[in-house]
A and B are shown apart, each in its own frame.
Chain A
């Protein structure tokens, strides 16, 4: 079966690694960081302005892929809710010795509760593992987009990208 973002709607690990939106393995070890999963040259750049540290550059033309500067990114997470593609995630690989933190935008109701254990899914929405909801962020500035962060077993830090939607088909 052919795969890749044009066929399945999901970027493969190779496609992700080939983009300038993914930081190095060493950077993941250090602290929380943004993961930009935007692999096609589309006319879009709100992420660039969203970052108060200048860690994301799109430049000109506007169809350039967003480039992350792993040294400048503080992992603050401010860019997540500003991306209309919901394509930016915040990942802290070494949240604890055995777990990672993954934060993602979530624009559905009902929302989970902090502290709740929820089924977490991958880029295809399918169940991967259970995770604990760490935080639900909702501010006026985020304009209706909610951010949910979950704690999951460390081996899934590059796999978990959502919680399985309640009332969803799966």
Chain B
């Protein structure tokens, strides 16, 4: 039953506007509340497309999709308010005239609700999540002046400030140095355990699947080709054809 799953996709197919061929097809994906999932696959496999289909940024062209038991097509805004989405390789102009704290607050802008002003409580959430990613000192700095990794952490703080039920993270470790990777991995593990958030991360790197992750989905050419417990995937032979020493061929 679709109500037993926090994300429930049935025979989903997504075609980009103006294109003829679907980028992802026959997607059947059932995720229970509180799962920690990694989606891996080569460039162009359709990982980003899948994430954006889940939160309704891209409309699916056939099949059925439910998130929180609500049909995605009809409840996009409600679903997104409860779903944090970290965009892959988001680039900004160094002159961008926005302060980090305002960007982090903007994560809550939908959730707070229309006709409501931001309150002290909202700001506390902002400070708290900036603290979690270790970026509290950057609150009043312009976002354009950050390094790639620092900006990545601000974007992560932005989705954490939203206090979502589901976190969709597209390559959260890209741009991060080794220390920051460990730091963010630990953070994700902790948030997942403490708040029982459902986490879906997209990653290139098999060696960097967070320890809390219990299930791995492998995508290739728009299809889900494997979907199993982490240990099974990591020990499967098929995976060696796609990865070499944990890194994509």
A pairs with B: no
